[in-house]
């Protein structure tokens, strides 16, 4: 009736801590990329809305043109 139990893997606490640290670093980088992408997307949408609002009023000079020259 009783099934034989298999011994649990014994892991070194330092190894477990290293694995947790690597996972935490990965998650922090992942969330930073997600937040950065979200901020970039919101900024791009706000800029596009401003250009669309300008164009809908009938103006012709709505899109900014960068005239800086590189020497």
**DSSP H helix total and E strand total for the chain:** 1, 0
Residues 6+ away with beta carbon under 8 Å from 17: none
Q: What is the reported pLDDT for 43?
A: 96
Q: How confident is the model at residue 13 (pLDDT cuts 50, 70, 90)?
A: confident
Rounded to whole angstroms, the Cα distance separating 38 from 62 reads 25
Q: How confident is the model at residue 8 (pLDDT cuts 50, 70, 90)?
A: low
Whether pTM exceeds 0.75: no
Rounded to whole angstroms, the Cα distance separating 39 from 36 reads 5
């Amino acid at each position: 009736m009783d099934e034989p139990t298999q011994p649990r893997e014994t892991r070194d606490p330092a190894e477990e801590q290293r694995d947790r640290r690597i996972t935490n670093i990965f998650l922090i980088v992942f969330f930073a990329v997600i937040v950065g992408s979200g901020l970039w997307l919101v900024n791009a949408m706000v800029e596009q809305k401003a250009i669309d609002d300008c164009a809908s009023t009938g103006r012709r000079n709505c899109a900014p043109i960068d005239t800086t020259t590189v020497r």
